[in-house]
Amino acid sequence: MVLVTPCDMEQLTNHLAELAQQGLYRSRRIIESPQSILLQIDGNKYINFCSNDYLGLANHPDVIQAFKSAADTYGVGSGSAHLICGHSSAHHALEEELAAFTGRDRALLFSTGYMANMGVIATLVGRSDTVFQDRLNHASLLDGALLSGARFKRYSHADTAQLDELMSNIPAKKLIVSDGVFSMDGDFAPLPALVSIANACKAWLMVDDAHGLGVLGQQGGGVLEHYALNQNDVPILMGTLGKSFGTFGAFVAGSEELIETLIQKARTYIYTTALPAAIAEATRASLKHVIADTWRRDKLNHLIERFKLGAQQLNLPLMPSDSAIQPLMINDSQQAVNISNYLFEQGFLVSAIRPPTVPKGSARLRVTLSALHEEQHIDRLLDVFAKIHKT
């Protein structure tokens, strides 16, 4: 006797077919090698132009060694949340080093950047408050605002005049949130203007510098170092560790009160297992390289220039970006997928970014560069683009 009829999956089948038809179906490639410039997939090697490992630290021998020896010291699992018994001396040391690195009072580790953003925004604002966000902010920032229940206002990308207008006559607590470097566009947020607006309107300002930290600034201090802004200018800084640090996790840095408030209140901090101590130790090793290896930033900048110049000469649809994220605007989703597949056949991994990750009609190829690329990798990619462009 069947008591419960099985759930009807037909709806899902139809929805999946629809996605496929629109060129929006997503699937994963199975990687058989470490993260690096050459990735192995199905036994073949591909030149990787889609990773966020901008400094090439994900597979660095020092980082691997730190991870291994920390696993010997601490084991693998952290056992519990930070507030129970999961906060090891490795986590604590990393927090202190990240605070020093960012020039802030304190830093607090989160298990992922997604969780950090959700936790921070939902802790700092609530129903009677208002959050202002750039239209192109990362999904985790938008979700944090939704979770908080605050009034949610989005301004056109980098349009500080519009933000200024939106902010007037809002008496309640205000939080302005922006990506530092926009993840799918590669351009920098207009931070000096955001700082002025925040000061003039007595609003809080939060910057998510997932793609700037480690890469921008002489010392790798990110978009805030690039613009010479400090903790007074931007009181809330979020950084991720899975990108230029090459490991995993995230942190928030700011004042003593900010960090203590997050420890008491941020649900995505309190109710989750601490990341493994070995990850924290590996990140301490990678932080040393982030600080010391200025050659990685110099080389990356050189490669960015070379790519941009070559792409300009070919009249490719480059977007206005000076960062390691160099998207080519294709507009049509299916066409972006077709080009990405063609590049794959030619031995290059370049991802097609489609809605809803980017606005409708703005599908693009997101080329990302790494300090471990060589000039010849860039030139070979440009050669294939030249061929595509001609046909």
Ligand X SMILES: *Cc1c(COP(=O)(O)O)cnc(C)c1O
Residues in touch with ligand X (CB under 6 A)? 112-114, 117, 138, 140, 179, 183, 208, 210-211, 240, 242, 250
CA–CA gap between residue 182 and residue 198 (Å, rounded) = 20
Q: In whole angstroms, how close is the CB of 272 to ligand X at the nearest point?
A: 12
Q: Which is nearer to ligand X, 67 or 114 (CB)?
A: 114
Residues tagged active-site: 183, 211, 243
Q: In whole angstroms, how close is the CB of 182 to ligand X at the nearest point?
A: 8
Q: Which is nearer to ligand X, 29 or 389 (CB)?
A: 29
CA–CA gap between residue 131 and residue 149 (Å, rounded) = 10
Q: Which is nearer to ligand X, 148 or 385 (CB)?
A: 148
Q: Which is nearer to ligand X, 183 or 362 (CB)?
A: 183
Q: In whole angstroms, how close is the CB of 374 to ligand X at the nearest point?
A: 26
- Nearest residue to ligand X, by Cβ distance, number only: 113
- Sort 319 into a burial class: Cβ within 10 Å, 0-12 / 13-18 / 19+: middle
CA–CA gap between residue 58 and residue 282 (Å, rounded) = 10
Helix (H) or strand (E) holding 101: helix 89-102
Sheet holding 325-331, edge to edge: 325-331, 363-368, 351-353
Q: In whole angstroms, how close is the CB of 77 to ligand X at the nearest point?
A: 19
DSSP string of 330-352?
A: EE-HHHHHHHHHHHHHTTEE-EE
Q: In whole angstroms, how close is the CB of 13 to ligand X at the nearest point?
A: 30
* Helix, strand, coil % in the chain, rounded to nearest 5: 45, 15, 40
Q: Which is nearer to ligand X, 235 or 242 (CB)?
A: 242
